Amino acid sequence: MKRKRESSFSTRQWKYEVFLSFKGDTRYNFTDHLYAALKQKGIITFRDEEELERGEYISELFKAIEESQIAIIILSKNYASSKWCLIELAKIIKCREEMGLIVLPIFYDVDPSNVREQTGTFKQTFIDYQKCGDNIKVETWRTALKEVANIAGYHLQNKHESEFIQHVVNEMVEKLSYKSSSISKNLIGIESTLKIFIPSYLGFENNVCMIGIYGMGDLGKPTLARAIYDEFRNHFEGSSFIANVREDKKKKGLPDLQQQLLEDILKEKNIHVRNVYDGVTKIKSRLHSKKVLLVIDDVDHLEQLEQLAGRHDWFRLGSWIIITTRDERVLIQHEVHNRYNPNVLKNDDALKLFCLKAFKNEQPKKDFMELSQEVVKYANGLPLALVTLGSFLFRRTKDEWQSALPSFKNTKGEIFNILKISYDGLEEMWKEIFLDIACFFRYRKKNEVIYIYIYI
């Protein structure tokens, strides 16, 4: 039965990664420092004063517990003197038993045996509760305290608080799974790519590593960058994902993107960047001592890199700067030596991705295998094309599939518009070459076309 609960727990969608339960006597010292350290690591943490509006009921608190992966209980000497803390604790223990909630106690200036046996300050507190009656609640609270005291946790005893908190936070990073919940299901081919891509760049503690991911549109470059970001961001002191730089530069301007970068990494609001030169100065001065993970997505001009991540010495050793672009020359100009060109999806992965969109399953329905393979062949391993076509064919009949297939080659619908973005992003010379190949070299082999263009 326990295995079933854990399986259900692991597949649920969570709003919070950590729920903090504590008495007010630690709110402005230990708990506040722990909360800040968790946030610094990007761990989504619930603390009642941050999340509950005045007038909300205990049911909202219970809901937050149910929507958390881990509950950290800070057991101070006066923890049991709060009925709200004990009600909260009983709910946490119940969720542990019924839902597989991970519970981690911190014994703050109190011995676990005092909590387990309800001695010391806990003894008088429960004597007072019993005088007030309602023995059923009191026994529930006693049982909850005994159970939490028997859980292996953390004991702050003759230790520096800052070191102790850092140890707890590092443990949280290890316990929590930072893989995107959709990697195994929706990001087909990403895990295998990560296994090839990432080991090459691990262990760069003595350098700032700039990594370029380049290639034509629709190869899934932002998806790969996002997967790396989600997987590793909590190994850094700060992180930022600056998406769609090419488009956002037109809408917002580079100072706004510089401001976003600073606010994300420093966890501060209302940082004002007056102009690009002010932004460069602030990034260099405030981030040079931080180990960061920064993704700069869809770059098309060198100046964007120069003003967002101009030099290695802008950041602390061990930082990763990941850049996605359609134009490898931008990476070469910026002296990004670690460059990676993603391949299209292999046939098995392409079919799996298409089927997830067309059938909500990794395999096609009966009698749809040949039709599915024909669509996959047409999409040529391009992830965005597979997703678009799969979504279009979802819940359509076999006759509708057969009618739609011939029209795909001449489609003017969504996939045409999506793939046209890649064409529009080309310089005029490359547009002309593209059209020449599309119009005059249909069905010719790649190497033959290259030979004609170079030598004839």
Annotated domain spans of the chain: 2-175, 190-340, 347-425, 426-456
Question: Is 60 exceeded by the pLDDT of residue 54?
Answer: no
Going by pLDDT thresholds of 50, 70 and 90, the confidence category of residue 279 is very high
Is pLDDT at 448 greater than 60 in this prediction? yes
Residues 6+ apart with CB under 8 A from 73: 21, 22, 89, 92, 103, 104, 105, 106, 148, 153
Cβ neighbourhood burial of 30 (10 Å; 0-12, 13-18, 19+): buried
Q: Which CATH class is domain 2-175?
A: alpha beta
Q: Which CATH architecture has domain 190-340?
A: 3-Layer(aba) Sandwich (3.40)
> Which is more confident, 31 or 137?
31
Sole residue written with tokens 């519970």: 103
Tell me what pLDDT residue 218 has.
62
Average pLDDT (126-140) is 82
How is residue 185 written in tokens? Answer: 């299901």
So what's the pLDDT on residue 312?
Answer: 92
Give the pLDDT of residue 74.
Answer: 95
Is there a common fold for 2-175 and 347-425? Answer: no
Do the Cβ atoms of 109 and 141 come closer than 8 Å?
Answer: no
- Contacts of residue 171, Cβ cutoff 8 Å, sequence gap at least 6: 104, 154
- Better-predicted residue by pLDDT, 433 or 390: 390
CA angle, 150 then 67 then 188, to 5°? 110
Section 335-343 average pLDDT: 85
On the question of pLDDT at 377 being above 90, the answer is no
Q: Is the pLDDT of residue 452 over 80?
A: no
pLDDT score, position 434? 72
Tell whether the model's pLDDT for residue 136 goes beyond 70: yes
- Please compute the mean of the pLDDT values over residues 112-124 and round it to a whole number: 88
Residue 91 confidence class, pLDDT cut points 50, 70, 90: very high
Among 12-26, 49-63, 302-316, the least confident range? 49-63
Nearest alpha carbon to residue 170 among 294, 316, 75, 43: 43
Mean pLDDT of 353-361: 87
Going by pLDDT thresholds of 50, 70 and 90, the confidence category of residue 138 is confident
Give the pLDDT of residue 426. 64
What was the pLDDT predicted at 2? Answer: 42
| Per-residue pLDDT tens digits for 165-181 | 988 988 887 777 544 33
The average pLDDT across 357-368 equals: 87
More confident residue, 361 or 414: 361
User: 241 and 255 in contact (C-beta within 8 Å)?
Assistant: no
- The neighbouring-strand residues paired with 154 are 106
Is the torsion defined by CA of 302, 307, 308, 313 positive or negative?
positive
pLDDT band at 341 (very low <50, low <70, confident <90, very high): confident
pLDDT of amino acid 41: 79
Asked if 257 and 306 touch (Cβ cutoff 8 Å), the reply is no
Q: Which residue has the higher pLDDT, 223 or 201?
A: 223
Long-range contacts of 112-120 (CB under 8 A, 24+ apart): 112/149, 112/153, 112/155, 113/149, 115/75, 115/145, 115/146, 115/148, 115/149, 116/145, 116/146, 116/149, 116/150, 118/80, 118/142, 118/145, 120/77
Q: Give per-residue pLDDT as tens, 231-278.
A: 777 778 888 999 989 887 777 789 999 999 999 898 887 899 999 999
Q: For residue 160, list its beta bridge partners.
A: none
> Residue 338 burial by CB count (10 A; 0-12/13-18/19+): exposed, middle or buried?
middle
Q: How confident is the model at residue 198 (pLDDT cuts 50, 70, 90)?
A: low
Mean pLDDT over 385-393 rounds to 82
User: Stretch 389-394: mean pLDDT, rounded?
Assistant: 84
Provide, rounded to the nearest whole percent, the portion of the chain with pLDDT above 70: 80
In sequence order, the 6+-apart residues with CB closer than 8 A to the CB of 187 are 180, 223, 227
- pLDDT surpasses 90 at 302: yes
- Sequence-distant (6+) residues with CB within 8 A of 11 are none
CATH topology of domain 347-425: Helicase, Ruva Protein; domain 3 (1.10.8)
Q: What's the whole-model pTM score?
A: 0.54
Residues with catalytic roles: 88
How far is it, in rounded angstroms, from Cα 41 to Cα 290? Answer: 12
Q: Residue 439 half-sphere exposure, CB side, CA atoms within 13 Å? A: 6
Residue 429 has pLDDT above 70, yes or no: yes
* Model pLDDT, residue 60: 80
Average pLDDT over residues 123-144: 84
The yes-or-no verdict on residue 335 having pLDDT over 80 is: yes
Q: Reply yes or no on whether the pLDDT at 367 is more than 60.
A: yes
